[in-house]
Structure 1
Amino acid sequence: MRTHNARTVHLLAALALFAIGTGALAGCGGERADGLGTEITGADPAPKSKARARQVAAAWDGSTAAAAWRRGYYPMGDTVQLPERAFRNDADKRAYGAHNFVLHTRLPTAAPKNGHVKWESGGSLTLPLTGARTAYEALADGSGDGPHLTVTGAELGETSLLTSRGRATVPAWLFTVKGYDTPLKQVALSPSKPPAPPIKPAADLPSGQLWPLGGLVEVAADGRSVTVIAQHGACDDGPAVHVLETDGSVVLYASMVGTKDGACTAQLIGEKVTVKLDRPAGDRVLLDAFTGRPVPYGEGHGYAPNRS
């Protein structure tokens, strides 16, 4: 299933769009990996893309990188959580999108050195705690032009967050925002450092048959589907994303569908693509076949809040 999300970014390289025209096929679904995955529900992508997905899965499954990933803390949901019934009006929405905040309180200066991630499935992890000033400045890094939101209080609390190891309770700074009954929550921990991938990227430049993903948007509550940003150009029919599932990983491989004749403008367009899985994602590593790395949460901005 594909839904259009109007996010256009600058062209990574003009040569990449020029190379679109060879062999990209439509479809979305999965392919069996030694009997462990789901069967393709659309047209087969290029054989090289399937082979690349298998290489990525083989490199990660059972690797020290995968073991390190499962020990770490990697958010798979928004690390900034809005107050209930946000936003009251369009001005507040625009202020948040522009990161325009005004501080009408003193921020706490005393806080523990470390915070703890506590997973619902068991286990915990201790990480350095982000201070209130740093957390606030991450929210309020706008130009100050236009409407703004006013912060009138701040205290350390907790929130619940989806991570690569399932749902967890994490420390968060709770900012009181004028006009709202519940706080805006900013998670007070930075993600663990990602492990070095056991496989190199597919190529220096993408082709029509294999493109890097723009980022992870959402993992369904039941874990049986994931939504990612897939990119395409102005001279094709859109993106397609296929999946290869194993016991240890879920490898997504994206391509561009079709071509159009004529001049091609220098742009990339991001679309949300939802891919169904044969079984819940669980703690399997969600991987991008092109990069050979875990798919970052947040539309290509790393493990960061999605402000769209």
Structure 2
Amino acid sequence: MRTTAFRTALSLVAVGLLAAGCGADAGGSDESEPAPHTRPRALKVAKAWDGSAAAETWRAGFYPLGDPVQLPDDAFHSDADKEAYLTQNFTLRGDLPKTSRKDAKVTWRDGDSLTLPFMGARAAYDELGGSKAPGPRLTVTGAKLGETTLATGRGPATVPAWLFTIEGYDTPLKRVAVSPSKPPKPPIGPVGSLSSELWELGQVVGVAADGRSVTVRAHHGACDDGPAVDVLETNGSVVLSGSMVGTKDGFCTAQLLAKKVTVELDRPLGDRVLLDAFTGRPVRGTE
């Protein structure tokens, strides 16, 4: 089942009722603290990945850096429609195409391509969500096979997609019709535990058309000024280090919040591996 970027942005993961300061240092002040020193860890992650077998496998596969679901151009017409999408409340009114094809091709701008198992219309519809929860619903009246462009770990690619007709909308909702490749085993492990100096990043929200910026969901707590994302660029990788800034003293609810952060790059991302310093793994798109 897909995980939407919208729900991720609003999610709260409760880890306790009260905490004596959300940062590691409960004796901090209300003033913003300087950014943590993340470079040593980022350098270790880059060194482990650059030139590794895992990096070669990553560049040979299909790893989306964006949501496999692309909304209609005029989405949404109402709060009710948005709620229906977020809660995965869809109704099918009509028939979906049936096909006997078993695989489909993903093609990159340099001409390279990769053949992957094909996802039928029914399976793609099921990925949109089959919630039977009460509340508003979006109605799918049909679908046809087409294609779309999607940011990937090897740059923009043309991928097959099911174009679902949504009642009341002039343009289709697109769902990518192939699944990501199996990720390689990372050559470095994660940081031992969560700390105020380094936090695990969430999903990639998007990559700019020119590849010069990346937007990710970065985590922070309820007692700080928000997340920060530092970047380390090498010829083979871009390592992102997520942290929180401005931790404050006092009691507060201990929550994990998410916020979109856009990181500017010195040069286009290209086929460099986008990595999370905390996990030591590639930052993934929504699946």
| TM-score normalised by L of structure 1 | 0.82
Q: CA deviation at 1:259?
A: 2.4
Specify the alignment match of 2:25 in structure 1: 21
Contact 1:103 1:152 in 2 (8 A): yes
Secondary structure of 1:21's counterpart equals coil
Aligned-partner Cα distance in 2 for 1:6–1:92? 18
Specify the alignment match of 1:137 in structure 2: 126
Aligned-partner Cα distance in 1 for 2:195–2:20? 6
Q: CA deviation at 1:230?
A: 1.5
Task: Give 1:118-129 correspondences, 5 Å limit.
Answer: 118-129=107-118
Q: CA deviation at 1:239?
A: 1.8
Secondary structure of 1:271's counterpart equals strand
Aligned-partner Cα distance in 2 for 1:291–1:10? 19
CA-to-partner distance for each residue in 1:221-240, whole Å, 9 max, x for gaps? Answer: 22112121111112222222
Task: Give 1:152-191 correspondences, 5 Å limit.
Answer: 152-191=141-180
Paired residue for 1:45, among 31, 36, 41?
36
Aligned-partner Cα distance in 2 for 1:182–1:44? 44
CA 1:232–1:212: 2 relative to 1, 3 Å = same
Specify the alignment match of 1:83 in structure 2: 72
Paired residue for 1:248, among 225, 236, 252?
236
Report the RMSD for the aligned CA atoms in angstroms. Answer: 2.4
CA-to-partner distance for each residue in 1:44-101, whole Å, 9 max, x for gaps? Answer: 632xx32111100000000000000001111112211222322233322222222111
Q: CA deviation at 1:8?
A: 4.2
CA-to-partner distance for each residue in 1:20-64, whole Å, 9 max, x for gaps? Answer: 2289x979xxxxxxxxxxxxxxx6632xx3211110000000000
Q: Give, as a single letter, the amino acid of the residue that structure 1 aligns with 2:132.
A: S
Aligned-partner Cα distance in 2 for 1:179–1:19? 47
Q: CA deviation at 1:173?
A: 1.3
Specify the alignment match of 2:263 in structure 1: 275
Secondary structure of 2:45's counterpart equals helix
CA 1:15–1:234: 2 relative to 1, 3 Å = closer
Which residues of structure 1 form unaligned runs of 5+?
A: 28-42, 298-302
| Structure 2 residue 234 is matched with structure 1 residue 234 | no
Paired residue for 1:211, among 194, 199, 204?
199
CA 1:201–1:17: 2 relative to 1, 3 Å = farther
Contact 1:223 1:281 in 2 (8 A): yes
CA 1:258–1:225: 2 relative to 1, 3 Å = same
Which residues of structure 2 form unaligned runs of 5+?
A: 1-7
Aligned-partner Cα distance in 1 for 2:176–2:20? 37
Aligned-partner Cα distance in 2 for 1:78–1:6? 14
Specify the alignment match of 1:265 in structure 2: 253
Specify the alignment match of 1:93 in structure 2: 82
CA-to-partner distance for each residue in 1:280-304, whole Å, 9 max, x for gaps? Answer: 111100100010000122xxxxx32
Aligned-partner Cα distance in 1 for 2:84–2:247? 39
Greater CA drift, 133-142 or 184-193: 133-142
Aligned length: 276
Aligned-partner Cα distance in 1 for 2:254–2:271? 38
Q: CA deviation at 1:142?
A: 1.9
CA-to-partner distance for each residue in 1:122-151, whole Å, 9 max, x for gaps? Answer: 200000001211111111322341121221
Secondary structure of 2:241's counterpart equals strand
The ranges of structure 1 where at least 4 consecutive aligned residues each deviate by more than 6 angstroms after the TM superposition are 13-17
Q: CA deviation at 1:152?
A: 1.4
Aligned-partner Cα distance in 2 for 1:93–1:182? 16
Q: CA deviation at 1:264?
A: 2.5
Contact 1:121 1:166 in 2 (8 A): no
Contact 1:240 1:273 in 2 (8 A): yes
| Structure 2 residue 10 is matched with structure 1 residue 7 | yes
Secondary structure of 2:252's counterpart equals coil
Contact 1:16 1:206 in 2 (8 A): no
Q: CA deviation at 1:244?
A: 0.8
| TM-score normalised by L of structure 2 | 0.88
